[in-house]
Structure 1
Amino acid sequence: MGDIRPEDLERRQDGRNIDSRLGELSGEGAQQRVKDTDEANPSRALLRTRPSLSGVNADSPSYYGQPAIKEPVWIWSIPLYFYVGGVAGAASVLGVAAEAVGGEGLRKLGYRCRWVGAVGDIVSSGLLIHDLGRPERFLNMLRVFRPTSPMSMGSWVMVGSGAMNSAAVLFAGRRGWLGRVGDGAAVAAGLLGLPLAGYTAVLLANTAVPVWQATRKSLPLLFMSSAVAGAGSLLELLPHSSHEEKVLHLFSTMGKVGELMAGVAVQHEASSLEVLERPLKQGVSGRLWKAARVCAAASLALGLWPGRTRWMKVAGALLGTAGAIATRFAMFHAGKASARDPQATFQPQREGMGAAEVTGHTYASDGKPLKFPLPVLREAPRRPERPEAASGAWEPETPVP
């Protein structure tokens, strides 16, 4: 240790400051590379104020005005994965229903839904792996089967749906037992398509991100109805017969109505506190949220317009697709903005929301029930120093007779 200089230890190379003479970087984490160390590990200026009085007003104290939770590190492929996976699940459900109810008249639509489901499952898996960085990380997610974990169950649902849709496509139109295997696989894919269309919303609501947690009751309904609208709009853009058009129009219309109603419910849940609703009104997430609502409403209006022309049908389908995608990106960016805001974490907790609301644990450590909203403790103002104390001199007080 005598030949190691302090300046060598303080030199910032890749943000980890590992001396090769004392240790080596190995394992999966060692393969990470950082281009800008200041951006990856920013150094903050020294804060000389009290934690609860830094960066905020006295009515809403926080810890130095810094975020209380970490911002999600997901990239753009995750909200796109939400959309593609949801469309695949909704298309699988529609395909099974069409073949079961419509018979031979809707058999081609059922086969088309199988293809959309299979391709969607493959693409969504690729998008998820792109965010994870390495395929092995996706395989590691399958090492555990935990019914209480939305991530674990969602991984298995996606893998199962992909396998069933692939088998349904390979054996589509075959005669004999191979055809029956394909039909059975399509039914299994349809059953798995129900949770696949909305499990990602359950995954978001199960996190500590304030806006996702606050909308946990309505967010799954929004994602599932948006998946129906997105799948119907996508299938309307593909070649189809006039008989199939009626089914697709009804399917997509139901999804768009549900998407608009669920969007109102999400906004209502988030409005319980202004700080929770703020990401849906301001910034990038707010603009995306408004654009998603406008696209869904415009698509529904074009779909219900009497005497629709060809261009109106195409425009309505494109707007429905854009609205479904914008919904995922809006909630994605809203979660990031909510995590960056410390007040979005502290204020709901003071109001008895979050863990206290879900678990019903509203007792303090001394066994007494908590009363919400929790009071904000404030320090008593400091008494001014006596002049003689400031000068260093001390005189005994004269006793009162």
Structure 2
Amino acid sequence: MSSQTDVRLDDAPDLRTEREATPGSAGRGSRSLRPGERDAGSYYGLPVLNRTPWSDHDIAGYLFLGGLAGASSTLAAAAELTGRPALARAAKVAALGAVGGSLYALIHDLGKPSRFLNMLRVFKVTSPMSVGTWILTAYGPQAATAAATELTGLFPRLGRAATVGAGLAGPALATYTAALICDTAVPAWHDGFREMPFLFAGSAAASAGGLGMLAAPVAQAGPARRVALAGTALECAATVRMRRRMGMTAEPLRRSRLLKAGMALSVTGALLGQALGRRSRVAAMAAGAALLAGSACTRFGIFHAGIASGDDPRYTVEPQLARLATSRAERDLR
């Protein structure tokens, strides 16, 4: 009877193959390789990165609502200054509701309000979370003041100043979350750092334009229609460029059904708003609903694609090996 200690490290014939530890072939959490796929080099095929602790309904919702709030305030300021009171009113109220929802989602994910307040003790320009906390703190009171004065009719000058202030801070609120998720090791987020702010800006603009078409009369919704069209075009262009540039780490983005649905809904809503939303209130409302749903699908799709890329070690290990090989080749040519 053979001993259990005859496992050797050389290639001798008496090596017991059943005792070999082959990455990806056994162990808890292992997965089998796809046809034509080489092993990613992780231990037993397990993820290299710790799983992101963020919950989708909190953080993905925060990404969507923050973008909607910021872009709605910018649209409200434009409507206020161009004499479109109904559109301005709808955008101000929407911005307040969206920023309230995003703040709740953020605090719910943090666990308790004191953790949000603790981040205000310092301002660290290299930390997207710190910068975002201060952006949210500067934006929130102005958005609340703009909506409150609009609904009550009190202090109109203060309300206009708050509307303009919130409109100026809106783009920062709508896009800083792109820097927040890209400043992580999650491959599908980190590798998209160049295009992600533009994608978020376009998605936010499309959602704000959609809400404007949904809530404002057709006669005053012209800026909302134009913002929705421009935002959708920017979102689509950024998405296509990001997928092409990122290479294999964009695979979870390409496979995401939510992202595909988001793009389809946004394009449909923008075109419908331009074609029929000028004359038909029903068409304008349908276009607005499609744009809002499309923006939500885009944010949730990006969130889930990032989680999927972090769970698969291939998207962490193989790009690093490719960069290492390129670096060695360049060094050898010198």
Distance change in 2, residues 1:280/1:308 (3 Å):
farther
Which one of the candidate residues 238, 244, 247 is aligned to 1:268? 244
* Match of residue 252 from structure 1: 228
How many angstroms does 1:308 deviate by? Answer: 5.6
Deviations 1:225-280 (A, max 9, x none): 10000011112111x2343122221121211222222221222233x22xx12212
SS where residue 67 of structure 1 aligns? coil
Whole-angstrom CA distance in 1 between matches of 2:89 and 2:273: 25
Where do 1:213-232 residues align within 5 Å? 213-232=190-209
Paired amino acid for 2:141: A
Asked if 1:295 is matched to 2:276, the reply is no
* Contact 1:53–1:61 under 8 Å retained in 2: no
Q: Which of 161, 182, 189 is the aligned partner of 1:205? A: 182
Shift of 1:144: 2.3
- What is the TM-score with the length of structure 2 in the denominator? 0.82
Decide which structure has the larger Cα Rg and report it: 1
Per the TM alignment, residue 53 of structure 1 is displaced from its structure 2 partner at its CA by 8.2
Query: Residues 280 and 301 from structure 1, CA distance in 2 versus in 1: closer, same or farther, beyond 3 angstroms?
Result: same
2:45 pairs with 1:73: no
> Are the counterparts in 2 of residues 351 and 372 from structure 1 also a CA contact under 8 Å?
no
Cα shift at 1:324:
0.2
Is the CA contact 1:257–1:300 (under 8 Å) kept in the aligned structure 2? no
Cα 1:313–1:372 change in 2 (3 A) is farther
Q: Does 1:281 align with 2:254?
A: yes
Of all paired residues, the percent bearing the same amino acid is: 36
The counterpart of 1:169, out of the listed 147, 164, 167, is 147
Tell me the residue number matched to 2:3: none
Q: Which residue of 2 aligns with 1:49?
A: 21
Gapped runs of 5+ residues in structure 1?
Answer: 1-46, 357-361, 363-368, 375-401
Task: Report the CA distance between 1:123 and its aligned residue.
Answer: 1.4
Partners of 1:83 and 1:325 within 8 A in 2: yes
- In the superposition, the TM-score normalised over structure 1's length comes to 0.69
List gaps (5 residues or longer) in structure 2.
1-18, 27-31
Could you say which residue in structure 2 is the equivalent of 1:110? 88
Aligned residues: 303
CA distance in 1, matches of 2:331, 2:250: 19
State the one-letter code of the partner of 1:301.
L
Contact 2:142 2:163 in 1 (8 A): yes
- The answer on whether the counterparts of 2:135 and 2:172 sit within 8 Å (CA) in structure 1 is yes
- 2:202 & 2:44 partners in 1: Cα distance? 41
Match of 2:67 in 1: 86
Distance change (3 Å), C-alpha of 1:52 and 1:124: closer
AA aligned opposite 2:272? L
More RCO (CA 8 Å, sep 6+): 2
